[in-house]
């Protein structure tokens, strides 16, 4: 982290270091498209846009009143850093509302949260609001769907903001038009009645429709292995990761064994890392321990074997590297501890 004096202002500009682990953006993307973005939330009286967010030149956090004397940094008591947010919003398409401007500037200050060195586990432990600020497209740039709150100033002017994977912007307008024609299809209360149509959409070329269909089915507990296996095996990248994450999230415990067997088959049949990168990404970023850990452990070991057989060493295969390096030892140890606890409970119950 670099600290420098801004001449003429009694403040310091803290230039944040590069990401401590390089999957933070992917985690933001995965959460936005699977848990936050939903066409049913776009109200006609609001202004929703698809936009390219271009970050401004000045970026960093400023501590008002801080100064250096004799080589030492002095920060006033109670002073907190403010993050300078500024950039340009280039409107690609207006989805709702009557926004006439095709380009506008934005800028404000907001309290800086936590930057600097951090592990993936530390990042995962942060509140969603903290994670969103660190990887905000308003600060970093990116393609996003935003709501423009025209009568509001400051950090609420563009909120919420849903970051999109590269290339998904072409699917926003077609997906939105499809939703407008079928507004009841993605509503949870109609999911059981519409499940056949929703299951067909799981294989749709539009990833936004496929992901929102999976979430709608999952929310009412009718995602199944037969419907989800083909789209997961036929997808790649963030689409594959999103579908796998949603199925894993909503799959009952008793169905996980069959699901993992299916995923293991996909992993073993893969001829290139590109075919399973989304599986590794989802497993890496959404890992949450549960009783036994046997399913995660099976998946990690399958990915490790595939890593060795494919000779994965390149930057583009870092998801698989991450899960093998970071998770295998931890998962194995936790599985052993869980097994030992079960044995002790069994022995105790027998003695009683």
Q: Work out the average pLDDT over 166-181.
A: 96
Distance CA 186, CA 201 (A): 11
Please say if the pLDDT value at position 338 is more than 80: no
pLDDT tens digits, one per residue of 57-88: 755 566 766 767 777 767 777 677 777 788 99
Mean pLDDT, all residues of the chain: 77
End-to-end CA distance of the chain: 59
Q: Name 69's bridge partners.
A: 72
Distance CA 184, CA 197 (A): 12
Q: Quote the pLDDT of residue 58.
A: 58
Question: CB burial class (10 A; 0-12, 13-18, 19+) of residue 346?
Answer: exposed
Please say if the pLDDT value at position 112 is more than 80: no
pLDDT tens digits, one per residue of 248-305: 888 877 777 787 788 888 888 888 777 777 887 777 665 554 444 455 556 666 666 6
Q: Is the dihedral of CA 295, 296, 301, 304 positive or negative?
A: positive
Please say if the pLDDT value at position 38 is more than 70: yes
pTM over 0.85: no
Distance set, CA 41 to CA 186, 197, 210, 262, 283 (Å): 11, 21, 17, 34, 28
Q: Quote the pLDDT of residue 32.
A: 92
Going from N- to C-terminal start, the domains of the chain cover 2-170, 236-345
Q: Work out the average pLDDT over 96-101.
A: 87
Q: Work out the average pLDDT over 18-30.
A: 63
pLDDT tens digits, one per residue of 302-329: 666 666 555 544 444 555 555 555 555 6
Q: Which of 165-174, 208-217, 282-291 has the lowest mean pLDDT?
A: 282-291
77 versus 114: the higher-pLDDT residue is 77
Is residue 148 within 8 Å of residue 99, measured between CB atoms? yes
Please say if the pLDDT value at position 14 is more than 50: no
Is residue 80 within 8 Å of residue 63, measured between CB atoms? yes
Q: Quote the pLDDT of residue 337.
A: 74
Distance CA 244, CA 296 (A): 13
Please say if the pLDDT value at position 105 is more than 70: yes
Q: Which of 78-82, 163-167, 198-202 has the lowest mean pLDDT?
A: 78-82
pLDDT band for position 192 (cuts 50, 70, 90)? very high
Please say if the pLDDT value at position 152 is more than 80: yes
């Amino acid at each position: 982290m670099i600290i420098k004096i801004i001449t003429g202002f009694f403040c310091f500009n803290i230039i944040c270091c590069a990401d401590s682990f390089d999957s933070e953006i992917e985690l933001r993307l995965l959460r936005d498209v699977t848990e936050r973005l939903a066409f049913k939330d776009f109200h006609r009286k609001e202004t929703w846009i698809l936009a390219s967010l271009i970050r401004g030149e000045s970026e960093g956090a400023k501590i008002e009143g801080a100064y250096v004397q004799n080589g030492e940094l002095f920060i006033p008591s109670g002073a907190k850093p403010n993050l300078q947010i500024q950039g340009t919003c280039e409107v690609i398409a207006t989805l709702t509302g009557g926004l006439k401007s095709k380009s506008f500037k934005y800028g404000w200050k907001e309290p800086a949260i936590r930057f600097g060195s951090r592990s993936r586990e530390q990042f995962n432990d942060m509140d969603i609001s903290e994670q969103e600020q660190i990887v905000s497209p308003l600060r970093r740039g990116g393609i996003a769907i935003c709501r423009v709150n025209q009568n509001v100033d400051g950090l609420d002017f563009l909120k919420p903001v849903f970051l999109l994977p590269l290339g998904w912007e072409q699917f926003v307008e077609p997906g939105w038009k499809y939703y407008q024609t079928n507004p009841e299809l993605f509503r949870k209360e109609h999911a059981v009645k519409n499940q056949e149509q929703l299951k067909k959409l799981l294989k749709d070329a539009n990833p936004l429709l496929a992901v929102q269909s999976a979430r709608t089915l999952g929310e009412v507990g009718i995602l199944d292995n037969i419907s989800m296996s083909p789209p997961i095996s036929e997808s790649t990248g963030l689409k594959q990761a999103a579908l796998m994450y949603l199925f894993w999230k909503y799959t009952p415990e008793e169905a996980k064994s069959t699901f993992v067997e299916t995923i293991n088959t996909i992993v073993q049949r893969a001829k290139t890392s590109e075919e399973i990168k989304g599986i590794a990404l989802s497993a890496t970023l959404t890992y949450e321990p549960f009783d036994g850990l046997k399913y995660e452990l099976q998946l990690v070991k399958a990915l490790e074997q595939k890593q060795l057989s494919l000779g994965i060493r390149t930057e583009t295969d870092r998801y698989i590297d991450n899960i093998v390096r970071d998770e295998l030892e931890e998962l194995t140890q936790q599985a052993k501890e869980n097994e030992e606890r079960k044995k002790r409970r069994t022995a105790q119950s027998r003695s009683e």
